[in-house]
Structure 1
């Protein structure tokens, strides 16, 4: 029997209760997107990775981002075909299975593959939860629950580093992922009891488009990962770049020809839509630098505990949530352009302050710098999302909203791949004249070189934020 809103009402199931249950899965998926940042320093030695292999360690984050990005549009369409509640449960099971494989990971390669599987399940939960809201709430009452879902996603991402640091402080980092299992299992049982099967639709799923997009992103990340100072790495970079270009070309050709594309490419003809997505791409590339390097720098160089490293980043991520609300009000008063540019300038200023950090940086200066940076990133969220929604037709708003999130995620993937490779290339160039014995017996010099590396990351982030102002100038004003 098909399950719909009327059946739910007959069973006296509160839509608000269904929303609360679906938000549990969303929260932990968002949590696991950023939880690594507070635990990365503890994970690296357990996986035989040193501070000189930050570019390799970055793949623990990149793998999750790729899986999460591709799963959002693909699994959303799959859920339309096979039922929202059914695929939500399957996605949670994939998330649980990935969590088990991460917790059991005996090697770095195993861990990265497990993170991709975990992300496919986690990335699917947000769009499917939004579809469930459409199933159980009437048309005029969906804005608030959809806003709650958005708040849960941002809140989970904000708490992730602190949550990871707190668990590592008391338990082994693997417990971060073991804890996902009982909570996800309870959510699955509640969904089975409360919702039951969802209606199914006869629409095509662009599986090939999803495969091409995932392959293109993976090859692009591998191309950017190579160090250009090594000849064999240059050859690998060229090969991966060609492969990425071919896959993206095939993806575009397929999306143009297929009747039910994974991504509706014609929406990019709108100047405001395209400008907002380019700005979102650059914002993601800059944001990931802060998310990874603030706790990593705190724990590897400044001797902080994982909990303290997570707390430092928590100041930035929580301020992002405040900035997102402020950006909404500013967008309503001044349009898209002004709050977006103001946010990018503030983030640039925050990164400038961080690029001058010494090992003795302390409060209140450190907190002020993190708050300025986080506030800037928060201010751009609402204007970019509103610009996208307002610039497309009503039937394209769902795909438009998902695309602006996807472009930010792609920016994070590209930014982390390129800058970690470039940064470690810089580090190896600076230490080229030093032997392993000299590195081992000159800790002060190594610490200074590593500190300079983190400073270079923050300076690069300044440039990316300022570059984001250029497409933001083409955000057409809604009102002044």
Structure 2
């Protein structure tokens, strides 16, 4: 599992790696510094691929096995990195980032499903905690890695270095993980997966606002959201009438699974509000610059992976309900503390991060426990998508 966890960390780092070098990139791409919004597709392109392909690729891993899907994703990640590294214009660079996102996004739910394949229910929460920690650690290491690599070899080196790392991760996965066992025969609902991917993509485009201080939604947001709702309605209609479904309903305990999806979306929303509001608070009321705001936010970001590891250990010992409820309750108290402690909010942010991290493994474990094992890839993917959509 260490090899698969390293692959998750690689994809997670790349989600945040451009944060500290975006200004340098737009200069090389001849985008004026006062039109930073034109570089937004570099972020949304990765998010689009990251979110949209998850459910279908999770289902593919249910059908064909986890190891082969991880290998294909790492290969696609390397190809996307090469495209990004050699791009001289914005369009191919966005395409490369989208391919990176598609491949990197699938690594997380497939690795979660792999943990469910290899570990009994009472032990898997610990492993899921470490996987969640690897995912959350990307937010800490990504900007630092991007700045460090760019300082030495330029921003294109950020993408070039992914190629040998992806090869090493693929070799580690090949030799460390057991061969894929025979999977349940059956067809894959490619039409349903495509409809859901389009709907999620439209929601991503509509909800992600590069300038949140000006408006809740970008100018194109309402149109994209309405279009996404229409496509989502078509997806549900297709699922009702199709003989093959993306997530077969038989055997799924829908009530607890729906609760996990709702809780994951709520956790994602709280996470994103914290990321945005901490920077705004730092640069307005606290009088810090962007670097100072980033350092303040680091208290929260470091707390997340630490909490994820602790949540996995607690869920393995006491079940999923106790650490999940404790995490959300502690997070609520931490935000009350932050509101009363301004401007001295660093410790409160650290506690809030650790508390939210505490919920990661219990929610992941619960999602996998209430769905039959031959659908773990799909179930994990939908849980991650719910969290990501909450963040938007």
Q: TM-score, normalised by structure 2?
A: 0.76
In the comparison of the two structures, how many residue pairs are matched? 377
Asked if 2 retains the 8 angstrom alpha-carbon contact of 1:162 and 1:314, the reply is: no
State the partner residue of 1:217. Answer: 200
| Alpha carbons of structure 1 residues 266 and 107: separation in structure 2 relative to 1, 3 Å | farther
Q: Distance in 1 between matches of 2:51 and 2:149?
A: 27
Question: What is the Cα deviation at residue 117 of structure 1?
Answer: 0.6
Asked if 1 retains the 8 angstrom alpha-carbon contact of 2:324 and 2:358, the reply is: no
Alignment pair present for 1:240 and 2:240: no
**Which string of whole-angstrom CA distances, capped at 9 and with x for unpartnered residues, describes residues 432-477 of structure 1?**
xxxxxxxxxxxxxxxxxxxxxxxxxxxxxxxxxxxxxxxxxxxxxx
Which of 371, 375, 379 aligns to 2:350? It is 371
Asked if 2 retains the 8 angstrom alpha-carbon contact of 1:337 and 1:383, the reply is: no
Which range moved further: 65-74 or 325-334? 325-334
Which of 199, 203, 206 aligns to 2:186? It is 203
Question: What is the Cα deviation at residue 116 of structure 1?
Answer: 1.4
Question: What is the Cα deviation at residue 172 of structure 1?
Answer: 2.1
Q: Distance in 2 between matches of 1:188 and 1:273?
A: 32
| Alpha carbons of structure 1 residues 349 and 105: separation in structure 2 relative to 1, 3 Å | farther
**Which string of whole-angstrom CA distances, capped at 9 and with x for unpartnered residues, describes residues 252-287 of structure 1?**
122333344224568998555434422322332342
Alignment pair present for 1:381 and 2:353: no
User: Which consecutive unaligned segments of at least 5 residues does structure 2 have?
Assistant: none
Q: Distance in 2 between matches of 1:304 and 1:223?
A: 26
State the partner residue of 1:471. Answer: none
**Which string of whole-angstrom CA distances, capped at 9 and with x for unpartnered residues, describes residues 158-215 of structure 1?**
4223322333444422222211111112233444566696445332122222221221
| Alpha carbons of structure 1 residues 141 and 58: separation in structure 2 relative to 1, 3 Å | same
State the partner residue of 1:409. Answer: 388
Q: Distance in 2 between matches of 1:408 and 1:45?
A: 33
SS state of the match for residue 19, structure 2? helix
Q: Distance in 2 between matches of 1:304 and 1:289?
A: 17
State the partner residue of 2:12. Answer: 30
| Alpha carbons of structure 1 residues 57 and 274: separation in structure 2 relative to 1, 3 Å | farther
State the partner residue of 1:285. Answer: 269
Question: What is the Cα deviation at residue 153 of structure 1?
Answer: 2.7
Alignment pair present for 1:339 and 2:327: yes
| Alpha carbons of structure 1 residues 327 and 151: separation in structure 2 relative to 1, 3 Å | closer
Question: What is the Cα deviation at residue 118 of structure 1?
Answer: 0.4
Q: Aligned runs of 1:152-171 on 2, under 5 Å?
A: 152-171=134-153
Alignment pair present for 1:176 and 2:158: yes
Instruction: Indicate the structure whose relative CO is greater, using CA pairs within 8 Å and at least 6 residues apart.
Output: 2
| Alpha carbons of structure 1 residues 367 and 109: separation in structure 2 relative to 1, 3 Å | farther
Q: Distance in 2 between matches of 1:371 and 1:42?
A: 31
Q: Distance in 2 between matches of 1:196 and 1:334?
A: 33
State the partner residue of 2:52. Answer: 70
Which range moved further: 188-197 or 106-115? 188-197
Larger radius of gyration, structure 1 or 2?
A: 1
**Which string of whole-angstrom CA distances, capped at 9 and with x for unpartnered residues, describes residues 215-241 of structure 1?**
1122233444689x99xx97x555434
Question: What is the Cα deviation at residue 134 of structure 1?
Answer: 6.5
Q: TM-score, normalised by structure 1?
A: 0.64
